[in-house]
A and B are shown apart, each in its own frame.
Chain A
Amino acid sequence: MSVAESASLPSWRISLRLKPLWNGLFGTPLNTVLTILTLAFLAWLLPPLARWLVIDATWSGTAQDCTANSGACWTFVGAKLRFIVFAFYPPELQWRPLLVMVLLVSLLTGTALPRFWRRATLVAWPIVIGLCWLLMSGAGLLPAVSSNQWGGLPITLLVWTFCFGLAVPLAVLIALARRSRMGGLRTLAVLFIELMRGIPMVAILYVAMLLLPMAVPGGQHIDKTMRAIIMITLFWSAYVAEVVRAGLQAIPPGQEEAAAALGLGYWRTMQLVILPQALRQVIPGMVNLAIGFLLATSLLAVIGIFDLLNAARASATDPKWLGFYDETYLVAAVIYFVLCFGGSRYSRWLERYLRPARR
């Protein structure tokens, strides 16, 4: 069939509504080739995947049944899902990390909606995070659970939210310092940002694990998770600061001059004029950064914290269920994907939502 023909197929064969679709798929020679290649790729990929995922998979029984079949072992996932999500947290107290996850997800969803962009949300952050810490540790009110036993998805979410929540205000201050007219302050901010961005996150975690307890008086008594949170916050704040700075630079200098002409001081200018506009501009960039940070929390494994990925890996070392790495990593990947995909869809929606305001 020639290109000219396909582009103008008689309307009695394909309804008008399908025509744009047909043109998109087979409208030009390039589109046709791409469509056929995609179909071939799917034909190559999907049948073996479906066989592994569903047809040859084991849905009940023991590890031996799984080894006998060539497909995925969903029994393993059934037996280990609790461990992958909650790791070593005592099963009888499981409602606590569960509630923590609900709280954190609500906090993040709430903060994400422009409807809730007001002072109360700002106040809610320290309260919710403090509550989460209380729920995880017990803090004297509930039966104590050592941070040694925390793990899985709650710890991934908690570290991520905690660190990002602390890093953003810190980053705003650093970004302002970097644009400050005071030379010493500006140099310090540049030094801090360049130092943090010049070090890999693994090194930062080693500092939290090994150096901090020795360098800071009484450092041994600070909990390991807390030490990691402090260092990660400092590390992330350097990245966020650079994003915030980009937003600050996008505000025309006339605005600041106009504010000064109205008699506003530096902090009032920043608070009322510059920051509301600057931060609004960089929200998509920050969401993007946050998604990257979520994936980076898997590095917590190098200092022995049982984050989601580490718990998933460890679940396949049980002699009873040896070596079901494909299944366990698939579960972890699905959880990460849901979180990241949600984040990136939100980021796109937000860009569209904010566009009229910018013009």
Chain B
Amino acid sequence: MTFIPQLGAGWSTALAASLVVAGSIFSTTSFAGPTLDKIKERGAIKVGVGTTPGFFAPDDNGRWQGFFIDYGRALAITVFGDPEKVEFTNSSPQQRLPALQAGEFDVLLSGVTVTISRAFQLGFHFGPTVFYDGQGILVRKDLGVNSAAELDGATIGVQSGTTGELNIADFFRKAGKKFTPVTIEETGEFINALETNRVDAITQDSSDLVGKRTQLKKPDDYVILPERLSKEPLAPAIAGGDDRWLEIVNWTVNATIQAEEWGITSKNVDEFLKSEDPAIQRFLGVDPSLAQSIGLDPKWAYTIIKAVGNYGEIFDRHLKPLGWDRGYNRLWTDGGLLYSPPFR
């Protein structure tokens, strides 16, 4: 029917963004109240999430599960001491950033890439990177392609409203090669396009490609090329204007990384309560002085580890079953990029 628009999603992203600009003219007070006050008044954190297997998906009982979901629950523990005081709302890649600006969410845990323009132009603050991702290319093996540069003239599916569109164009321009982009909005349609040979390859953050590959009818006929076309550090994003809320996001993530560094897991955290190490005593609240001086519940980190686990546990629970390797997402002590500043 005529009122169902056949829109390119790029168009709708631009529309959504321009609406927010228009809206901010109407009202300058919409970001006035600090986020944390609103959260406490409401009694729950509003978290924007996506739907990507392993990162966020509903389980059989209609409960959100996933890597980012666990970080949402961890935030609820830091603020309320209760992992359930959090509301997850699904948001599409096209509307998540305008919705964060409009104050629809307190934090976006939907796999947002940290970029300079998002920080400056959109005025977002980003927490620590929780997942180091990069854009990859998934191709059929029978194309006989071993590297992205050999894909001259190929038809490549890109998902609209993501940074992937830009990266692949940059990559091919730099390599002096040509390609035909096919913009696909619907996540499920992506795999279909590859299986029906509508496209020769699809490109997306490798986090998505790993999940997509397992959904193919014959996963072994497809391979993710070794190149990473981009750096995609995925981090929690919040609207500017509430420094304390930003610190809560920062240190909630850091706590899971620090706990893994110390070897504290959800199973052995109670034994660590007897630790003689003063740093661990401060971290777990055995010595409450640190938590009291920063105004958090002394047991906040303990409760997070007990309920959600450390970084490695969260990763292994949700991403390892999909065939994910820790890669860059190992601790700095193991040669990865995860590094928590000290708790003192």
Q: Tell whether, in the assembled complex, residue B102 and residue A209 are in contact, meaning their CB atoms are under 8 Å apart.
A: yes
Known: A304-B91, A322-B211, A323-B215. Is A211-B60 also a contact (CB below 8 A)? no
Residues of B within 8 A of A325 (CB): 188, 191-192
In Å, the complex CA distance between A306 and B187 comes to 16
Which of B3, B19, B46, B94 touches A207 (beta carbons < 8 Å)?
B19
Report how many residues on chain B are interfacial, defined by Cβ distance under 8 Å: 57
Report how many residues on chain A are interfacial, defined by Cβ distance under 8 Å: 52
- Which of B48-56, B196-204, B276-284 forms part of the interface with chain A? B48-56
Q: Tell whether, in the assembled complex, residue B104 and residue A318 are in contact, meaning their CB atoms are under 8 Å apart.
A: no
A206 in contact (CB, < 8 A): yes
CB contacts under 8 Å to B, within A206-250, are 206-207, 209-211, 213-215, 220, 224, 235, 239
In Å, the complex CA distance between A325 and B5 comes to 23
Q: Tell whether, in the assembled complex, residue A322 and residue B16 are in contact, meaning their CB atoms are under 8 Å apart.
A: no
B214 in contact (CB, < 8 A): yes
In Å, the complex CA distance between A319 and B323 comes to 11
B171 to chain A, nearest CB (A): 27
B192 to chain A, nearest CB (A): 8
The SS class assigned to the A binding surface is helix
- Which of B20-28, B115-123, B294-302 forms part of the interface with chain A? B20-28
Known: A79-B60, A211-B19, A320-B60. Is A304-B5 also a contact (CB below 8 A)? no
Using a CB–CB distance below 8 Å, which chain B residues touch chain A? 1, 3-5, 7, 12, 15-16, 19-20, 22-24, 26-27, 30, 44, 46, 48, 51-54, 57-65, 87-92, 94-95, 98-99, 102-104, 186-188, 191-192, 211, 214-216, 318, 321-322
Q: Write 22 A-B pairs (CB below 8 A) sorted by A numbering.
A: A82-B60, A88-B64, A146-B44, A148-B88, A200-B3, A202-B12, A206-B12, A206-B15, A206-B95, A207-B19, A210-B20, A210-B98, A214-B30, A292-B3, A296-B1, A299-B4, A301-B92, A306-B90, A313-B187, A314-B57, A316-B188, A317-B51
Using a CB–CB distance below 8 Å, which chain A residues touch chain B? 79-80, 82-83, 86-91, 146, 148-149, 197, 200-203, 206-207, 209-211, 213-215, 220, 224, 235, 239, 292, 295-296, 299, 301-304, 306, 310, 313-320, 322-323, 325, 329
Closest 7 CB pairs of A and B: A323-B215, A200-B5, A214-B23, A292-B1, A317-B57, A325-B188, A304-B91
